[in-house]
A = this chain, B = another copy of it.
Amino acid sequence: MLKIDWQSGVPAYDQIVQGLIKLKALGALSSGDKLPSVRAMAGKLGVNPNTVQKAYLILEEKGIIYSALGKGSFLSDSDEGTKAVLDSAKESLSKAVYEALNLGLSQLEAQKIIDNIYSKGGKKND
């Protein structure tokens, strides 16, 4: 389901956050689903419970999951969180495109990069 890449330089808590967002985007997880408990997830990933706790906290602040004390953590029903995530993704991409344009990258090359990545299906961090 998820795996931490310790070589990537990306903080583990961030990989968990991004990974769960992606799993939801792909439909592997749906609204209302129960996530593994903080401790269970930590065990599976070979990570300290605190690290998972941090990831879950961030996801909760984003409105993607909610945690019920004593019950567990669940994917939010509402899609507000998901929408916010998508919006921020668009904004980040926009900034990167502006930068690339300013640095002299042609539109053709920019499009090639996108096509290339999407044709691979984003298999990078899997």
Contacts and interface: CB of A to CB of B under 8 A. Distances in A.
A contact patch SS: helix
A93 to B, nearest CB: 5
Interface residues on A, range: 35 or more
A89 B99 contact: yes
The count of identical subunits is: 4
Contacts of A76: 7
Contacts of A114: 97, 107, 110-111, 114
> Which 4 residue pairs across A and B have the least CB separation, nearest first?
A25-B104, A96-B96, A101-B122, A89-B103
30 contacts: A6-B66, A6-B74, A7-B66, A7-B77, A18-B103, A21-B102, A22-B99, A22-B102, A22-B103, A24-B104, A25-B102, A26-B104, A85-B104, A86-B103, A86-B105, A88-B103, A90-B100, A90-B105, A92-B96, A92-B99, A93-B96, A93-B99, A93-B100, A93-B110, A96-B97, A97-B117, A98-B117, A101-B118, A101-B122, A110-B114
